[in-house]
Amino acid sequence: MQKRAIKTKQKILKTSFKLFAEKGFHGTKINDIAYSADVNKQRIYAYFNSKENLFSAAVSHAYQLLAESEENFLNLTEKDIPDLTRKLLENNFRFHIKNPSFWRILAWSNLEESIHVDIIKRIRTNVFLHLKSLYEKGQKKFFFKPKVSFETYFFVLSAVSFFYFSNRKTMCKTLQIDLEDDKVKESVINEINMILENKNGIR
């Protein structure tokens, strides 16, 4: 593919990511994407074949951004196990701050049950397996609760990060705290770390 074609395809992908995140699959029209990306509508179909494929590509792009933010996790070693929860949460929070559209397109992708994005499970495999290995070693050293699987541990960290940013406006009112405050973010990370650590050395 020529450089110009690659550049055009990337422009379409970035534009569709932004619009799908704002309006979802059904609320976004191919004409809107073509207009915003300043490309011919036929170019979109030439590169992605269908709106469904373009949506899947946009969701995959979102996960690719997440995977790139997690690449540094491959450098973690056993000496990092005591601070693993904090490192993962801090990275998740930084990612959401830097990529405010991520939680929106993730929410839309879960609403569109008929849109399959199987590529997602392959994007983060290496990082996932590396973290799982560290977690299980941490369990053997009693840093983590023995009856809590890595999958549940990872799910909780992902859920906290997602919910914090996707629901911060309503939860600010409910909890009467400013979730935009850096001190509050730090407090949440500290307290989630306390909840998940094997504080009493349970075997």
Tens of pLDDT, residues 178-203: 999 999 999 999 999 888 876 665 66
Beta carbons of 1 and 43 less than 8 angstroms apart = no
Q: What is the pLDDT of residue 37?
A: 94
| C-alpha separations of 199 from 152, 170, 188, 192 in Å | 18, 32, 17, 12
Q: What is the pLDDT of residue 4?
A: 81
Query: DSSP letter string over 103-167?
Result: HHHHHHHHH-TT---TTHHHHTHHHHHHHHHHHHHHHHTTSB-TTS-HHHHHHHHHHHHHHHHHS
Look up tokens 């406006």; give the residue: 169
What distance lies between CA 14 and its chain's CA centroid? 16
What's the DSSP call for residue 197? B
Q: What is the pLDDT of residue 203?
A: 60
Q: What is the pLDDT of residue 164?
A: 94
Beta carbons of 65 and 14 less than 8 angstroms apart = no
Residue 72 tokens read as 């540094």
Report how many helices (DSSP H) and strands (DSSP E) the chain contains, helices first: 11, 0
Q: What is the pLDDT of residue 110?
A: 86
All residues at 6 or more sequence positions from 133 whose CB lies less than 8 Å from its CB, including other chains: none
All residues at 6 or more sequence positions from 128 whose CB lies less than 8 Å from its CB, including other chains: 154
Q: How confident is the model at residue 120 (pLDDT cuts 50, 70, 90)?
A: confident
**Tens of pLDDT along 45-75?**
999 999 999 999 999 999 999 999 999 999 9
Whether this model's pTM surpasses 0.95: no
Instruction: Over range 132-156, report the average pLDDT.
Output: 94
Q: How confident is the model at residue 138 (pLDDT cuts 50, 70, 90)?
A: very high
All residues at 6 or more sequence positions from 42 whose CB lies less than 8 Å from its CB, including other chains: none
Kindly state the percentage of the chain with pLDDT values over 70: 93
- On the question of pLDDT at 174 being above 70, the answer is yes
Instruction: Over range 93-117, report the average pLDDT.
Output: 86
